[in-house]
Amino acid sequence: MSGEKRDVLAELGLGDLRPYLRSIGDKDRIFPKAHRIEVVFLVRAANYLLLRTEGAGTINMTTLEYSGGAMEVPVIQPQKLMAVTRRQMLQLLREYRDSLDEVSKRWFVQEVIGKAKDLGFKKVSEEWNCTIQPPLAEFGEKATDIGMDGFCPHCTIFGAALTEQHNEKFGGLSIGIKTRVRFDPAFATQRRITPETHNKVTEGHLSMTGQALFSEVHVEPGTVFIGRAELVDLTEPELVATLYSLATLRELGGRSGIYGTVRVEILGVKAGKYASTTAYDLAAENAGKGYEEVKKNLKERLEKLGFTPVDNSKLLAAVDHKDPNGLFKDLWRSSIDFAEKMVKWVEELKGGGQKGSGKKSRSKKAEPEESEEE
């Protein structure tokens, strides 16, 4: 469905964030400023979770020190949170693509795909499909993220390593787009873990029971984790889409097709130049407490820290990612604008910014405002 464009930030009571957001069309938006938006959220296990980095039988644990002592608790590594959030955004982008009507599809092909071709990006087609997993290396090259296209919102927000494989205008340069979404580890407030015995063959249409049994340590359902992220230099559609991607996560951890069901609840956001807290500090203040008490305490603590509360249900209701003229259309506009600024900056570098001492300079036109640099 489509209709009058919604002001999602206003609906959520987050209009005060706008001075800390970047603008689509801003000539300096690829260069960082000191502004950031902190997001505090809860991750609640709705099923057994398998949180491990490598190796069977163990999960990621860490020591949580608090006023009453210390205890080992499960932890969700920041790279895991990053991976599932960016995959969720990629899924939402694909659903937006698949929902386009003929008029919207023409706009997408002309204004997004056509622009990407003009900018020299190589992985472009009318049936856009960016992928995270890199293919095998070819012709002696290293296996990098050449599955990514480099110009979609998933790449420009969460980062990508780009080479001449991605863009013909790079001319031998390697460009790294840094992620603008940074996660703390998410710490559980209780040590709720249990070993479970499984059959080695658990997937597929046919399986035999009673053979190749093994044990895994799982986080128990109901365990609550306190997470925090910093969103840096995002435009308004990028901010809302990132919050929506995080809030709609449903799976996390190893073997998430079988286990790993979660619910994510965003509790508050705060804009500023400096961090107000960390996930570790918030977890230490709530050590040993369960979901309801943690949620109540966090809301009170975040209010004291100057966070604006977020109503998770309102966030989910305010965004229709399949609306062809809604938020995700603006998200694509923002992304292709970022890609255009990046390619033009590379062309400036190649045109005279690397002479003499080898220092990379940029023209005065591309200089960020001194007063807003950190």
- Mean pLDDT over 330-343 rounds to 96
355 band by pLDDT with thresholds 50, 70 and 90: very low
Phi, psi of 361 (to 5 degrees): -115, 165
Residues, the chain, total?
A: 374
Token digits of residue 285: 């203040």
DSSP string over 308-361: EE--HHHHHHH--TT-TTSHHHHHHHHHHHHHHHHHHHHHHHHTTTT-TT----
The number of angstroms, rounded, from the C-alpha of 355 to the middle of its chain's C-alpha atoms is 37
pLDDT at 357 > cutoff 60: no
d(CA 248, CA 262): 10
The pLDDT, as a whole number, for residue 341 is: 95
d(CA 209, CA 196): 15
CB neighbourhood size of 179 (10 A): 15
Token pair 């249900």 in the structure block, residue: 313
- Mean pLDDT over 296-323 rounds to 95
147-151, 202-206, 278-282, 316-320: segment of lowest average pLDDT:
202-206
1-5, 49-53, 199-203: segment of lowest average pLDDT:
199-203
- One-letter amino acid for residue 35 of the chain: H
Exposure of 103 by Cβ count < 10 A (0-12 exposed, 13-18 middle, 19+ buried)? exposed
318 band by pLDDT with thresholds 50, 70 and 90: very high
- Mean pLDDT over 266-288 rounds to 95
**How much is the pTM?**
0.85
Residue in 139, 154, 156, 128 with CA at minimum distance from that of residue 24: 156
The pLDDT, as a whole number, for residue 207 is: 47
- One-letter amino acid for residue 291 of the chain: Y
Half-sphere exposure of 252 (CA within 13 A, CB side): 31
CB neighbourhood size of 258 (10 A): 14
